[in-house]
Amino acid sequence: MDPSLLVLASTALGAVAGAGVAVAILGMRRAGRRRAAELRPELEEVATTILDEIDMFAVVLDSSLTPVYANPIARQERHISDDDIRDPDFLLRVRRVMTTGVPDTHEPDPTDPSDTVRIHIVRIQRRFAVILAEDLGEEQRVNAMRRDFIANVSHELKTPIAAIGLLSEAVQQAADEPAVVLDFAKSLVKESRRLGELSRDIIQLSEAQSALRPEDRESVSLRNLVRSEVESHREFAVQHGIELVVTDESDQDRDAVILGRPASLGAAVANLLSNAIRHSPDGGRVGVGMTIRRRSFIVTVTDQGAGIAPEHQSRIFERFYRVDGARTRGDGGTGLGLSIARHTMRAHGGDVDVWSQPGVGSSFTLAFPLHDPEGSAKSSKRAKKARRSTRGSAETAPAPEPAP
Ligand code: ADP
């Protein structure tokens, strides 16, 4: 890419050029919109009216490359520094557009994270050039994340699918040897279970990432939810030689109810329980605590496992992140459990957090915001009262002044 554009694109929306332009734009920021008309009355008002409304950075330069107008987004843009905009090469491009009338466009390079700004230079009314710029950084980031996710999913699916194919062929070939067939069949069950868990988690993750719609909001008793998940994990804990201990210190006089997706909320608790059991030493103890802190119901799942080193603690909530990828992949984990938990909790207005110390153990905390029907009834009464009083005063008050 043209080095001049690279400089410009590297600064979010720092896309306007010209010696002295900085001063002029800063001046316009202070002077506001009226200044455009004062500077160049021949710039048609219709043009500035349109540019005022568009959702991107727009600056108009006249034939001497002096800025005569900056739209509200350009006026608010704080990333422009004098260094960014004194770029002779960029000015040359503007001048070329001005003389030839041929628009110039710079598209960001999707593989270069520092190149995120799309720039259009267009001539208008023969004597002016409009510079339009928009930062596509967020869009590029989302696309990159999507690409990574698809690559990860295909990679994760490939292994069990290939294993199932090979094992099925092996079973056919060993048809006369029942012991060998039995062995292969066990591996087949293991691989197909892994495939099943992976597809279940991918579905749960996509559900957890989708916004909570009003029709998704069922009333869920958090105490029952936690107890039922604990019961579902008892057998699993016994298989691992783990004791599951539940303590409920929450104020029993208070209802612990949340409005949300019961299956997703259950999956968040289940993932923490399953992790704690899987990462605990034989004969260990997993504690599940419940308490209410202000307006949140807090569930803590604590284990006496190996713990998680500080450098991994912030990353374990990422999709497919495993502290020890190779070892834990065959261990029953899909690498999505904590990501599902975090997305679910955030979609419900809560969050999940971790405390861990290598050699001591880990403690994961879920904070559920409590639904307070009394509080919401009171606040809706307050809102109704406020609406009534504003309606009353609106009926008697004079008509509002038109916006300036
Ligand atoms: P997985 O399905 O692999 O368990 P998670 O998203 O649930 O995926 O967890 C991500 C990683 O965090 C795990 O692979 C593991 O390395 C680590 N981890 C999660 N919970 C614990 C725990 N209780 N103790 C130690 N490490 C844990």
333: Cβ below 6 Å to ligand 1? yes
Q: Does 16 fall in a domain?
A: no
CA of 61 to the centre of ligand 1 (A): 56
Interatomic CA distance for residues 298 and 300, integer angstroms: 6
Interatomic CA distance for residues 342 and 267, integer angstroms: 11
For residue 67, the surrounding DSSP H or E stretch is strand 67-70
With contact defined as beta carbons under 8 Å apart, do 10 and 83 qualify?
Answer: no
Tens digits of pLDDT across the chain (404 residues): 333 333 343 333 333 333 233 334 444 444 444 455 455 566 777 888 888 899 888 888 888 888 888 888 888 765 544 444 457 888 889 899 999 999 999 888 877 878 888 889 999 888 899 999 888 888 888 888 888 889 989 988 998 999 999 999 999 999 899 999 999 999 999 999 999 999 999 999 999 988 888 888 999 999 999 999 999 999 999 999 999 999 999 999 898 999 999 999 999 999 999 999 999 999 999 999 999 999 999 999 999 999 999 999 989 999 999 887 655 555 668 899 999 999 999 999 999 999 999 999 999 999 999 987 665 545 445 545 544 554 444 333 333 333 33
316: Cβ below 6 Å to ligand 1? yes
Output the residue whose Cα is nearest ligand 1's atom 13: 322
With contact defined as beta carbons under 8 Å apart, do 299 and 288 qualify?
Answer: yes
When divided into structural domains, the chain yields a total of 3
Please indicate, yes or no, whether residues 169 and 288 belong to a single structural domain of this protein: no
List of residues 6+ apart from 191 with CB closer than 8 A? 160, 163, 164, 167
338: Cβ below 6 Å to ligand 1? yes
CATH number where 95 lies: 3.30.450.20
Interatomic CA distance for residues 265 and 268, integer angstroms: 5
From residue 156, how far is each of 182, 191, 192, 401 by CA, in Å? 26, 12, 13, 62
Please indicate, yes or no, whether residues 265 and 362 belong to a single structural domain of this protein: yes
303: Cβ below 6 Å to ligand 1? yes
Interatomic CA distance for residues 230 and 21, integer angstroms: 66
CATH number where 145 lies: 1.10.287.130
Please indicate, yes or no, whether residues 220 and 198 belong to a single structural domain of this protein: no
Please indicate, yes or no, whether residues 269 and 120 belong to a single structural domain of this protein: no
The domain in which residue 87 lies consists of 45-135
Q: Which of 155, 190, 209 is the last residue of a domain?
A: 209
CA of 346 to the centre of ligand 1 (A): 19
308: Cβ below 6 Å to ligand 1? yes
Please indicate, yes or no, whether residues 337 and 317 belong to a single structural domain of this protein: yes
Q: What is the pTM assigned to this prediction?
A: 0.67
Which of 193, 200, 236, 275 has the most ligand 1 atoms within 8 A of CB, as the residue to mutate?
275
List phi, psi (to 5°) of 129: -120, 135
Please indicate, yes or no, whether residues 251 and 347 belong to a single structural domain of this protein: yes
